[in-house]
Amino acid sequence: MSDTAIAAALAAIRARIAEACARANRPAGSVTLVAVSKTHPQQAVLDALAAGQQVFGENRVQEAAEKFPPLRAAHPTMRLHIIGGLQTNKARDAVRVADVIETIDRPKLAAAIAEAMAKEGRRPDCLVQVNTGEEPQKSGVARADADAFIRAAREEHGLPVTGLMCIPPVDEDPRPHFAYLANLAAKHGLREVSMGMSADFEAAIAEGATLVRVGSAIFGARPPAPG
């Protein structure tokens, strides 16, 4: 999309977020828009920055490591969320590049992230990803294991866990998944609830999302993922 198209799309999404907050009797500033720039070039991020967007999401660490560090010098307050499933061998790169890692979902990864934080001297906020739909192909801790894993991530691994994240099944009503995640976060005293994408962020806000991850509605369609 052109720079003016990205600016217009961002303004439209921000207006819809404000309306969804108003409908839910929530303060306008209670939801942060994470602009998901995966597969889109650095120029698209620059256009969004020029339109006032500060928070971005990428699902691949490698892509984020190429795209973002050069932009930070000129935009020191921008923030990057890693939102894709992480291999343990990418933990150190993730800790180096991210301000928030949204996809902590298993003990091995929690340990690798903790070790990387110690080595890098950097402590990005962490979210625990929950596989609310129990889908075998999807990342995220199972519902039945979520309580124990959230505690272990904080207490055993010492991670700065600030919230939870989910991606509901595409073919289901997302609202029960959103409600479940918001309840689980409240139960653990966690402030961040990352849920809702281009197609369903308003429903997520109604259920208590504090972070919505919106990609295609801002930057346009992506090429289909390989495989």
Ligand X SMILES: *Cc1c(COP(=O)(O)O)cnc(C)c1O
- Between residues 155 and 173, which has the closer beta carbon with respect to ligand X? 173
- Between residues 50 and 199, which has the closer beta carbon with respect to ligand X? 199
SS3 assignment, position 130? strand
CB of 22 to ligand X, least distance (A): 22
CB of 198 to ligand X, least distance (A): 3
Q: Which residue from 110, 67, 112 is spatially nearest to 90, judged by alpha carbons?
A: 112
Closest residue to ligand X, judged by C-beta, is 215
CB of 200 to ligand X, least distance (A): 9
- Between residues 83 and 109, which has the closer beta carbon with respect to ligand X? 83
- Between residues 73 and 171, which has the closer beta carbon with respect to ligand X? 171
Looking up tokens 């500060």, which residue turns up?
54
Within the chain, strands assigned E span 32-36, 55-58, 79-82, 100-104, 125-129, 161-165, 192-194, 211-214
Looking up tokens 């918001």, which residue turns up?
182
Q: What is the CA radius of gyration of the chain?
A: 17
CB of 119 to ligand X, least distance (A): 26
CB of 56 to ligand X, least distance (A): 11
- Between residues 64 and 214, which has the closer beta carbon with respect to ligand X? 214
What residue ranges bind ligand X (CB under 6 A)? 36, 38, 59, 83-84, 167, 197-199, 213-217
- Between residues 7 and 166, which has the closer beta carbon with respect to ligand X? 166
Instruction: Give the separation between CA 144 and CA 208, rounded to whole angstroms.
Output: 22
Residue 127 burial by Cβ neighbours in a 10 Å radius (0-12, 13-18, 19+): buried
DSSP string, 55-91: EEEES-HHHHHHHSHHHHTT-TT-EEEE-S---GGGH
> With contact defined as beta carbons under 8 Å apart, do 132 and 166 qualify?
yes
CB of 184 to ligand X, least distance (A): 18
